[in-house]
């Protein structure tokens, strides 16, 4: 298994993925005005222009000064004691427990009546102040000055600097080895921009591995009459689907049953299943 990394822009400031909606919770008439991401086309040349933080695997949260909302505008049913002490201005951040615990925090956040014990395990990790019209490094300093130690359930996500690409690569490998997802790079001079921003980038590894094709799933819609997904089994005995990464030609002439394919994935779930797995290529016989 080899490890690589891609430099992408934060997907929906993907310091995180969002939990599914819960039907009993209120929804904002408008989605929170937050930053979104674009794809970075070139590597960063001046690392000194950026502050760096760990990419957390939690659930995006937006505090409007009174209520906590998801990225989609769904009210999150956080207990009053959880948000007591939060400031009366907007905070952008992530509801997080610990590395590798996305499934737990997602399950808690989407409940309409999670227990106090469940909420006690969560922290709201603040990474930006949306209403401040100053550069990011000043927004970060304000957050540190005003939000540190005001609540046991609120924490400012640490931002730091690294010297060069070699140090960045080394630090990324340490974070991954310790169970983290990756790193976030935020341009120091950037203003908070609603919508897509070129000033926040995600440095996240992906892995590749091999699996054996055990079945074909027929496609639907635009893939009707073509391959929809491969059902594969990896060397760990995990069975899962590969539904993306194929060209139309590959969907018309898919890898045969029993063939070995290479797939890429972004870590594993708590059940050991590859996360966001997609097809790369047929493994050539040697």
Q: Catalytic site residues?
A: 55
Q: Tokens 């070699």 label which residue?
A: 166
In this structure, the strands spanning 50-55 and 182-187 are: antiparallel
φ, ψ of residue 84 to 5 degrees: the values are -60, 130
φ, ψ of residue 184 to 5 degrees: the values are -115, 135
Burial environment of residue 231 by CB neighbours within 10 A (0 to 12, 13 to 18, 19 or more): middle
Please state, in angstroms and rounded to a whole number, the distance separating the CA atoms of residues 111 and 105: 10
**C-alpha separations of 202 from 67, 110, 176, 237, 252 in Å:** 28, 25, 14, 31, 34
């Amino acid at each position: 298994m080899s490890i690589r990394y891609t430099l992408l822009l934060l997907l929906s400031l993907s310091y995180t993925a969002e939990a599914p909606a819960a039907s009993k919770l209120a929804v904002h008439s408008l989605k929170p005005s937050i930053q979104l991401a674009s794809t970075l086309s070139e590597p960063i040349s001046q690392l000194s222009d950026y502050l760096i933080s760990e990419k957390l695997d939690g659930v995006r949260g937006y505090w409007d000064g009174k209520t906590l909302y998801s990225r989609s505008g769904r009210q999150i049913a956080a207990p009053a004691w959880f948000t007591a002490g939060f400031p009366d201005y907007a905070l952008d951040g992530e509801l997080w427990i610990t590395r590798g615990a996305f499934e737990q925090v997602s399950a808690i956040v989407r409940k309409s009546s999670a227990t106090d014990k469940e909420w006690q395990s969560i922290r709201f990790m603040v990474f930006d102040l949306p209403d401040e019209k100053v550069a990011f490094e000043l927004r970060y300093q304000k957050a540190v000055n005003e939000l540190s130690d005001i609540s046991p359930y609120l924490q400012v996500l640490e931002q730091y600097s690294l010297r060069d690409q070699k140090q960045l690569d080394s630090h990324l490998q340490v974070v991954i080895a310790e169970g983290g997802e990756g790193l976030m790079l935020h341009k120091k001079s950037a203003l908070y921009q609603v919508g897509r921003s070129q000033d926040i980038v995600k440095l996240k590894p992906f892995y590749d591995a091999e699996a054996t094709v055990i079945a074909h799933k027929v496609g639907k819609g635009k893939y009707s009459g073509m391959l929809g997904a491969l059902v594969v089994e990896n060397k760990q005995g995990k069975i899962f689907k590969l539904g993306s990464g194929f060209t139309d030609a590959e969907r018309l002439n898919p890898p045969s049953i029993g063939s070995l394919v290479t797939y890429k994935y972004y870590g594993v779930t708590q059940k050991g299943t590859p996360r966001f797995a997609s097809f790369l290529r047929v493994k050539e016989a040697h």
